Structure 1
Amino acid sequence: MADRPLALVTGASRGIGEAVARALGGTHRVLLGGRDVGALSRLAGELPDATPWTVDLTDEAAVADAAAAIPSLDVLVHSAGVARLGTVESSPAQVWRDNFEVNVVAVAELTRLLLPALRAAHGHVVLINSGQGLSARAGWGAYAASKFGLRAFADVLRAEEEPNGLRVTSVYPGRTDTEMQQAIVAGEGGEYAPERYLRPDSVAAAVHAAVTATPDAHPTEVVVRPRPHR
């Protein structure tokens, strides 16, 4: 299967990242990015041609070493992220640093290191953003700011790299049924009802559609919201 395109999906051990890896697994070789070796190994065993890529994205040296081993890359999906929530009053500097370190800085650095591989393949970068990257709400300040930053990064990357043959897509899912969402709802003191939220595989389907778009098309932004009545 070496003739199939190669995709790297970060955050592939669970949630949207896992769903994206499964969606791409039918058409791509997949590098499964994450830190949970057991979860990544189990997922690799379920896909036709997948390999765990166990790297801590905040470890710059480890990321550099791992990226250097990839000479050509067709698809890079940034799904790894954190959500440290709180009001401005209750969010010290470390909350802001945590959100930006994973949601922006790590994304920018991994992309930078993989640009030669992406250019070699005329590849595609997909960034899983959030509804909070379009419209911020109270209590989500640091997280929303990081997602606005991710949006800006995608716009700049697109402007700089489209002439080099790259496509860059921002995907903005609404609230999605994941472990992260369960923790958020618990923190809000609400009752968790999965049917209110998007399914991860629905977000993954949007990613797959963007990645497999015809060569003449550049899907720059995809917004996916849960339907209140199904």
Structure 2
Amino acid sequence: MTSHLVTGAGSGIGAVLADRLHARGDHLVLLARSPARAADLEARYPGSDVHVVDLADPGAVGAFDGVPDELASVHHVAGVVELATVAEQEDAALRAQLDVNLVAPAVLTRLCLPAVRRTRGTFVFVNSSAGLSASASWSAYAASKFGLRGFADALRAEEVEQGVRVTTVFPSRTATPMQEKVHEQEGRTYDASRWITPETVVDMILHVLDLPGGATIPEVSVRAAVPRTA
């Protein structure tokens, strides 16, 4: 049985990815932040293993014991964002973004590494264009994503001899609930048609997964073909 661990399967890119993998007949290991979200995922993806793990709690992530013996892939998709200038950034919001976007993937990767080594599988880090270039009010989020890129780079270098593939995907703004929240924080009108779709990002992720064993894509950016007009 081909198994994949996915975080962030409740919405956006993670939900589309889980839909596609489940439709292929693959087995899913899903992490949910609450019992209510876990129940939703269990109903949506029958036969999957769903675990309640709050990614904002490093202790809970470190105690996760639901990793199967083998994993074909691990997908770090979950993320949070709270825009603020450095001068106005609250400590709790800063820490939450670092914990969910960077610490949780790092800890989960360590826990999952033996299972991925056994299949010579793939880690996919869904990063952000903010992990390549930081803008005003994005300091905390960008810091977490820059750190995630560095972590993935080190993992790739360490695991190449084990046959483990590591890919970082850098989507630009994507039409997801998170992007709608960002627009609210920016005081802008949200128009999903201006942004790439979660399906486009997932198409790229599945392309990465389905590459022949002798090939890998270390990094890939996915951007809208036409620049936004405002």
Give the TM-score normalised by the residue count of structure 2.
Answer: 0.90
Residue matched to 2:178:
180
Q: Which amino acid aligns with 1:138?
A: A
Q: Structure 1 residues 127-136 or 48-57, which shifts more?
A: 48-57
Q: Find out whether 1:8 has 2:23 as its counterpart.
A: no
Report SS of the residue matched to 1:195: helix
User: Over residues 98-151 of structure 1, what are the superposed CA-to-partner deviations in whole Å (9 max), with x where a residue is unaligned?
Assistant: 211111111101111111111122111000000000111111111111110010
Task: Give the Cα–Cα distance (whole angstroms) in 2 for the partners of residues 96 and 64 of structure 1.
Answer: 20
Q: Which amino acid aligns with 1:218?
A: T
Q: Which amino acid aligns with 2:3?
A: L
Contact in 2 for aligned 1:13/1:33 (Cα 8 Å): no
Q: Find out whether 1:82 has 2:80 as its counterpart.
A: yes
Contact in 1 for aligned 2:80/2:101 (Cα 8 Å): yes
Distance 1:83 1:120, change over 3 A: same
Residue matched to 1:200:
198
- How many residue pairs match? The answer is 226
Q: CA deviation at 1:51?
A: 3.0
Task: Give the Cα–Cα distance (whole angstroms) in 2 for the partners of residues 139 and 45 of structure 1.
Answer: 38
Contact in 1 for aligned 2:167/2:218 (Cα 8 Å): yes
Q: CA deviation at 1:62?
A: 3.7
Distance 1:60 1:133, change over 3 A: closer
Task: Give the Cα–Cα distance (whole angstroms) in 2 for the partners of residues 152 and 24 of structure 1.
Answer: 27
Report SS of the residue matched to 1:66: coil
User: Over residues 61-86 of structure 1, what are the superposed CA-to-partner deviations in whole Å (9 max), with x where a residue is unaligned?
Assistant: 54344335422211100011111211
Residue matched to 2:69:
71
Q: Structure 1 residues 179-188 or 39-48, which shifts more?
A: 39-48
Distance 1:94 1:60, change over 3 A: closer
Contact in 1 for aligned 2:67/2:112 (Cα 8 Å): no
Report SS of the residue matched to 2:87: coil
Q: Find out whether 1:25 has 2:22 as its counterpart.
A: yes
Residue matched to 2:140:
142
Q: CA deviation at 1:207?
A: 0.8
Q: Find out whether 1:126 has 2:124 as its counterpart.
A: yes
Q: CA deviation at 1:60?
A: 4.2
* RMSD of aligned residue pairs (Cα, Å): 1.9
Give the TM-score normalised by the residue count of structure 1.
Answer: 0.90
Q: CA deviation at 1:45?
A: 3.7
Where does structure 2 lack aligned partners over 5 or more consecutive residues?
none
Report SS of the residue matched to 1:198: coil
User: Over residues 138-168 of structure 1, what are the superposed CA-to-partner deviations in whole Å (9 max), with x where a residue is unaligned?
Assistant: 1111111111001000100100111111100
Task: Give the Cα–Cα distance (whole angstroms) in 1 for the partners of residues 143 and 205 of structure 2.
Answer: 23
Residues 27-106 of structure 1 aligned to structure 2 (within 5 Å): 27=24, 28-47=26-45, 49-67=47-65, 69-106=67-104
Q: Find out whether 1:217 has 2:230 as its counterpart.
A: no
